[in-house]
Each structure stands twice: as C-alpha cells, then as structure tokens.
C-alpha cells in the first residue's frame, strides 16, 4: 500500500507541476494585463512548490544521510539560478520536465522490477487437502505442511511443491521453467507451485511448504539479483558521483569565467545554470541499470535465473562453453539395457547391485533401482556405503565388501575385468557398471542414456551466436562419449572422456587462460568445475536447492535451448548498454558545446537532458520483450474460484521502492 501511495503522490505532484506550467504559459499568451499577471504568479508558484520543493527535500535528505550529491540538487540549483536572474519561466520549464521525466523513469524501472511479480500473483491462496479419513476440505495454501496430500482438479494451480502420488495429466509449467509446451506427469513426477494442472485429477504429496517452494526461492533470488550491482553499474555509480561534483564545481568556475569575460552577473549565472543542466550525467548513470533490470526480469519470466548483473555481464563475454554430459547434454534418465552375471544368477546380481546403489544419487543408480523394481527384485541391505568420486560406490552387505562402478574402481579393488563376456560389453558404446565382491568381479550391467532433443539445436545456436569453442567433459568411457558427441555434432577433439573431477577443473582453468569460460552441469555433480568457471550454469535447477545455490545462472527447465537464449540475451543487453552510453555521452557533449560556445537556451538544455534520460530508459526496457520469455508470456488457463492469487504474498516480497538515481 505504501508503494502505491508513494507512486500516486509522485503522479499528483507531477500533475500539479504540469498544471502550473500550463497556467504560466497562458499568462504569456493569450492572456493580458492583471489576469495574465495573476496566472503567471499562480502558475510559477505552483511549479516551484510542487516540482521544486519535493526535489529539494529529497536532495537534502540524500546529501545529509548518504553524503551523496543527487541530481535533484543540481536541477533545483539551476532552477533557482534562473529565477534569480529574472528568468523564472525557464526555471519552471526545467522543473516541469524534470518532474515528468523522473516520474516516467520511476514507473519504467518499476515496470522492470515488477515484471516477475505477475508470476508471484499466480500463487493460489487455497488448496484442497485430503484428510486422514479421506475427506477433502479447502484450506489456505499457507497452512499446508510437508507430507500433506492435496487434490488438483483440472484447471487448478498447484498450491505447493510436491510429488504426484495418484493420477496422470499434463501441466503448464511455462511460468516456472519457461517450457512452452505442456509437460506430461505421472506418479513419482515432481510438480511446482503456481503451475497449472490442465487435465486429469491429481493427488500430490507436499514436499515443500509455501515459504520454501520454488516460487519463494525465485522471489528471493530475483530480488537479490536486482539488488546486486553489476561491475558496470558500480563503475557508473562511482563515476557519476564524482563527475557530478565536478559538474557543480565546473558550473561555479564557468560563472566566474563568464563574469570575468565581461558578461553581467545575470547572464553569467544563466549560462552557468545552462551548463549545469547540460553536463549532468543522469542519462549516463541510468543507462546501465535500466538495461540490467529489464534483462534480469525478462530472463526470470523465461525460466532463467541470473545471480545478479555480474553474471549477466560475464555471460555476454563468454566465448568458450564446457558441458558435462550426463544429465546436461543427455536426459540423465538412463535405463538398463543388459545384465551379465558371470555365475548366471542375474537376480542375485541385481539384488546386490540395487542394494548398493540405493545410497547413490547418480543417474545410473536410479536406472538400476528401477530395473530391479521392474523385475520384482528386492535389494539386499547394504551398510557402510562410501562413494568414490568418478569411480563408483563401495559398501558391506554383511558377507563382505561390495562395490560397483567403472573400470577405474575395478583397478582400485584389484579386480580383473578381462573376462570374455565383460570384454564384449566394454567394446559397446553403452555405459558399463561393473559389480564385484572384494577382488572378484560378479558381473556387469549396461546402461544407455539418450541425448536431449534440444541439445543439438542449442549447441548449433551457440556456435551461430559467436561461441568459439564448445567441449564436452565426462567421466564416462570414450566410446560412450563419442556416440553422444556425434549425435550432437561435436568433433572428436571436442569430446573429453574418462575424466576425474580434478581433470575437469584443470581443463576449465586451462581454457579460462584463453578467454571467458562457462561450465554447464546439473548443479549436483561437478561443483568444483562450476565454481572454477567464469560462469557456472546449472541445468534443470527447478526444485533443486543445490543447483540454485551452486551456479551463477540457473536454467529452471531442462530445455537446452534456454541456454542459447540466455547467452543471446546477455549479448543483447551488452549492446543496449553500449548504445545507451554512446547516446548519453554524445548528447551531453553536444549540449555542453552548445552551452559554452553557442548560447544554448536553458529550456533547450533541459529538453535535451531529460529527453535523453527518458530515451535511454525506454531503450533498456526493450529487453523486457526479449524472445527468451516467449514461453512465459502465453495466456494462463482460467483459474477456478478456489485457486485465487496470493497477491498479498507477492506484494510483500516486492515491497521495495524503486531506488532513486543514487550517485548522480
């Protein structure tokens, strides 16, 4: 409410300022005599009171509390100087245009900050909760707790993050992941708050409360990202503050110089006030945040979260991309394609292997557990499980040490994999997981993973976008890596297999010496490589705390083309910033030259200054319509009465004022 009041107050003051300017203009024409004098005094007084006093108060508070010389102070000084030399009308023009441009700028930047708020307002207020006795009752979404079961009717919005335990259907996840097409869901699939159930009746077990949901974390991350300043923002603020002090000092020197050259004090003061306006760096300093805020908001609506403007700027400069394979370029949803038990007992092998892999989060472990479940095989109980990075997993079933992993782990355990049946598997292009007890190999399973359908187009788009080098890094065997790499259009020298985590870190570091490097992974594994890269990018991060925290950029969906979109958005943002800076500096140079050598009128300097500021803000706002948010802008299905938006929560999350142009 306070934000709306402040916004309304600004609009009212601007309207009064414009009204005063109209009255003062009528006094010049067509009114005459005493009526004209009355309109002139009334109009000019209204302009100076409604347009000048608030600006002077803001400037004084800023100067006193933050020791920052604000642009408001420069404008007020220039207006007072104009009035002091008998040109109050010109000062009124300055205050009127300044009031209009400031209000437009705040509304425009507020639009950039509120672009993500539309998503927050889709959060349902109520949910249908099933009780222990089977009855269904409507409760506030905020009252849901972990392990509660909610019922989703067709058209209803998901009230909290959860897992489907009953029913099948399609969900519209565009508002969260940016995915443009509905996603089919079945029991065991994860669902996110604020997404829409398009068809079917679903039963969902809540896994996160409203305060801890994906949407809540998006609010926090986007808010932090918009508050954090990019390097160019920090520099422009640093430069702007110091330059503003120089402008004030220069205006004083200009007054002295004009007076020394023989101008009377009124003309010297008028000319120095004109220079004060012409040289003000407002448009220069606002050029960067206008573009950064718009890009961050557009990206968030498209399912891409940047950890602030620094990540956005760095991604624009990236020309080398390194990719993890499993779960990033591939679906990560592997399946068991073959089982080889050297003693002929496949059920015993799968039972032991599933018991061991029950403690692993690796994609291949899920495939093995699923294969055992499909065959109705119960896993054995395994204890003292230890994961060996890039090798496998080791545990104890009470009869001895069990292990499962790649050839590297077999060597560590002193086991031989030279058996003819195992050699035949190694010659294949599928992933092989060996299983053994102590130094004896019991058998192996083969697992196949498929490349994502969007991976090849995404890599092609990155190359077309100017990326000079793309490499794939994996701990898998080279035949497997080559098969996937060829499907994605990668050359053999761009495919690196049999890599340990430290190998990936070293390779990323080597490439970082040649240029900016982005490493793309699933956010769970390869944390060291994500940290070593100039930009760490997590794939499919929706619902993953680790992914959201580990990376500089989080792609909420598993659509690889979002990565190419994010890279293009970053580069477009860099171009817009350059355009703004060139335009702002060029306009300022022209205005200053006119003020020094061509007797530029004060109103014209005001129009050039304020008009330039508004133009650079509007140019930055173009990024709000970036194609990256194509999936997040389609109309949402009509929401039933029992799923109204939680507007109160959304407004609380965004109850921050649009910051004034600090440092100007």
Q: Give the integer Cα–Cα distance in Å for 312 and 308.
A: 7
Q: What is the CATH number of the domain that holds 396?
A: 3.40.1110.10
Are 542 and 464 found together in one domain? yes
Write the pLDDT tens digit of every residue in 131-166: 988 899 999 998 999 999 999 999 888 999 999 999
Q: What is the mean pLDDT of residues 543-572?
A: 82
pLDDT band, very low/low/confident/very high, at 240 (cuts 50, 70, 90): low
Q: Residue 228 has what pLDDT?
A: 61
Structural domain contains residue 597 = no
Listed in sequence order, the residues at least 6 apart from 380 whose beta carbon sits closer than 8 Å to its beta carbon are: 351, 352, 354, 355, 397
Structural domain contains residue 67 = no
Q: Residue 545 has what pLDDT?
A: 60
Q: What is the CATH number of the domain that holds 139?
A: 2.70.150.10
Give the residue from 88, 17, 28 showing the smallest Cα distance to 54. Answer: 17
Are 201 and 341 found together in one domain? no
Q: What is the 3-state secondary structure (H, E, C) of 611-650?
A: HHHHHHHHHHHHHHHCHHHHHHCCCCCCCCHHHCECHHHH
Structural domain contains residue 415 = yes
Structural domain contains residue 626 = no
How many CB atoms are located within 10 Å of the residue 480 CB?
A: 23
Q: What is the CATH number of the domain that holds 503?
A: 3.40.50.1000
- Does the annotation mark 72 as catalytic? no
Are 335 and 437 found together in one domain? yes
| pLDDT at position 62 over 80 | yes
Residue ending a domain, among 535, 556, 577, is 556
Are 474 and 506 found together in one domain? yes
Are 429 and 470 found together in one domain? no
Are 363 and 413 found together in one domain? yes
Residue 385 has φ and ψ, to the nearest 5°, of -80, 135
Q: Beta strands of 10-104 (E only): which ranges?
A: none
Q: Give the integer Cα–Cα distance in Å for 531 and 517.
A: 11
Q: What is the mean pLDDT of residues 502-512?
A: 90
Strand partners, 341: 443
Task: Report the run of H or E that residue 202 belongs to, with start and end.
Answer: strand 202-206
Structural domain contains residue 424 = yes
Structural domain contains residue 167 = yes
In order of 163, 167, 188, 197, 485, the CA distances from 200 in angstroms are 15, 7, 16, 8, 39
Q: What is the mean pLDDT of residues 539-558?
A: 71
- Most distant pair of Cα atoms in the chain: their distance: 114
| pLDDT at position 651 over 60 | no
SS3 318: coil
pLDDT band, very low/low/confident/very high, at 303 (cuts 50, 70, 90): confident
Write the pLDDT tens digit of every residue in 418-456: 888 888 887 777 788 999 999 999 999 998 888 889 999
Residue 164 has φ and ψ, to the nearest 5°, of -70, 130
Are 402 and 502 found together in one domain? no
Name the range with the highest mean pLDDT among 147-161, 321-335, 356-370, 412-426.
147-161
Number of domains in the chain: 3
Residue ending a domain, among 515, 540, 556, is 556
Write the pLDDT tens digit of every residue in 399-410: 889 999 988 899
* Listed range (54-63, 169-178, 226-235, 649-658) with the worst mean pLDDT: 649-658
Structural domain contains residue 245 = no
Are 342 and 426 found together in one domain? yes
Structural domain contains residue 400 = yes
Q: Residue 120 has what pLDDT?
A: 64
| pLDDT at position 639 over 50 | no
Mean pLDDT of the chain: 83
Residue ending a domain, among 556, 576, 602, is 556
Q: Which of 148, 161, 172, 324 is catalytic?
A: 324
Are 364 and 462 found together in one domain? no
Under a CB-based contact definition with an 8 Å cutoff, are residues 654 and 117 in contact? yes
Are 394 and 540 found together in one domain? no
Q: What is the 3-state secondary structure (H, E, C) of 260-294?
A: HCCCCHHHHHHHHHHHHHHCCCHHHHHHHHHHHHH
Q: Give the integer Cα–Cα distance in Å for 72 and 91.
A: 14
pLDDT band, very low/low/confident/very high, at 221 (cuts 50, 70, 90): low
How open is the CA angle 507-509-510, to the nearest 5 degrees?
65
Share of the chain above pLDDT 70, in %: 85
* Listed range (465-469, 524-528, 596-600) with the worst mean pLDDT: 524-528
Q: Residue 544 has what pLDDT?
A: 56
Are 400 and 442 found together in one domain? yes
* Listed range (132-136, 226-230, 567-571, 630-634) with the worst mean pLDDT: 630-634
Q: Residue 636 has what pLDDT?
A: 39
| Residue span of the structural domain in which 354 resides | 331-450
Are 527 and 462 found together in one domain? yes
Q: What is the mean pLDDT of residues 609-617?
A: 88
| pLDDT at position 264 over 60 | yes
């Amino acid at each position: 409410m306070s934000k709306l009041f402040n916004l309304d107050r600004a609009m009212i003051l601007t309207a009064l300022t414009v009204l005063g300017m109209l009255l003062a203009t009528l006094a010049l024409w067509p009114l005459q005599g005493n009526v004209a004098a009355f309109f002139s005094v009334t109009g000019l007084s209204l302009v100076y009171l409604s347009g000048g006093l608030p600006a002077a108060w803001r400037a004084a508070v800023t100067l006193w509390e933050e020791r920052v010389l604000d642009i408001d102070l420069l404008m007020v000084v220039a207006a007072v100087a104009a009035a002091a030399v008998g040109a109050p009308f010109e000062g009124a023009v300055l205050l009127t245009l300044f009031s209009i441009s400031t209000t437009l700028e705040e509304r425009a930047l507020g639009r950039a900050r509120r672009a993500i708020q539309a998503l927050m307002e889709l959060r349902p207020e109520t949910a249908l909760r099933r009780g222990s006795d089977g009855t269904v009752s409507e409760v506030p979404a905020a009252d849901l707790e972990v392990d509660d079961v909610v019922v989703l009717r067709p058209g209803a919005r998901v009230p909290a993050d959860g897992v489907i335990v009953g029913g099948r259907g399609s969900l519209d996840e565009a508002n969260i992941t940016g995915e443009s097409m509905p996603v089919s869901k079945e029991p065991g699939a994860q669902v996110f708050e604020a997404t829409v159930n398009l068809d079917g009746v679903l039963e969902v077990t809540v896994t996160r409360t409203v305060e801890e949901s994906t949407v809540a974390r998006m609010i926090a991350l986007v808010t932090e990202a918009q508050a954090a300043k990019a390097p160019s923002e920090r520099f422009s603020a640093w430069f702007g503050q110091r330059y503003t002090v120089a402008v004030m000092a220069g205006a004083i020197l200009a007054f002295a110089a004009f007076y020394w050259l023989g101008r009377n004090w009124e003309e010297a003061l008028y000319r120095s006030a004109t220079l004060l306006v012409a040289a003000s760096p407002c448009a220069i300093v606002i050029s960067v945040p206008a573009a950064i805020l718009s890009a961050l908001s557009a990206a968030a609506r498209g399912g891409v979260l940047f950890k602030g403007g620094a990540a956005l700027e760095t991604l624009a400069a990236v020309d080398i991309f390194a990719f993890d394979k499993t779960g990033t370029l591939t679906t990560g949803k592997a399946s068991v394609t073959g089982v080889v038990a050297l003693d002929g007992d496949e059920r015993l092998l799968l039972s032991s292997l599933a018991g061991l892999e029950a403690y692993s989060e690796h994609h291949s472990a899920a495939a093995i557990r699923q294969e055992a479940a499909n065959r109705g095989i119960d896993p054995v109980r395994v204890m003292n499980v230890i994961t060996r990075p890039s090798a496998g997993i080791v545990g104890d079933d009470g009869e001895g040490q069990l292990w499962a992993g790649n050839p590297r782990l077999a060597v560590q355990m002193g086991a031989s994999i030279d058996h003819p049946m195992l050699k035949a598997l190694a010659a294949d292009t599928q992933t092989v997981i060996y299983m053994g007890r102590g130094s004896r190999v019991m058998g192996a399973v083969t697992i196949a993973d498929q490349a994502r359908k969007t991976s090849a187009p995404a890599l092609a788009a990155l190359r077309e976008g100017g990326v000079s080098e793309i490499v794939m890094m994996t701990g898998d065997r080279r035949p497997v890596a080559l098969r996937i790499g060829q499907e994605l259009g990668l050359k053999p020298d761009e495919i690196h297999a049999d890599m340990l985590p430290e190998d990936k870190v070293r390779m990323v570091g080597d490439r970082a010496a040649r240029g900016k490097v982005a490493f793309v992974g699933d956010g769970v594994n390869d944390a060291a490589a994500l940290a070593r890269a100039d930009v760490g990018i997590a794939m499919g991060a929706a619902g993953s705390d680790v992914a959201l925290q580990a990376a500089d950029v989080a792609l909420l969906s598993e659509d690889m083309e979002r990565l190419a979109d994010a890279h293009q958005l970053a580069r477009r943002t860099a171009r817009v910033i350059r355009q703004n800076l060139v335009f702002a500096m060029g306009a300022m140079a022209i205005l200053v030259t006119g003020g020094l050598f061509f007797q530029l009128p004060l109103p014209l300097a005001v129009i050039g200054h304020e008009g330039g500021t508004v133009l650079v803000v509007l140019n930055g706002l173009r990024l709000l319509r970036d194609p990256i948010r194509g999936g997040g802008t389609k109309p949402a299905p009509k929401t039933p009465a029992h799923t109204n938006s939680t507007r109160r929560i959304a407004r609380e999350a965004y109850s921050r004022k649009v910051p004034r142009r600090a440092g100007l």
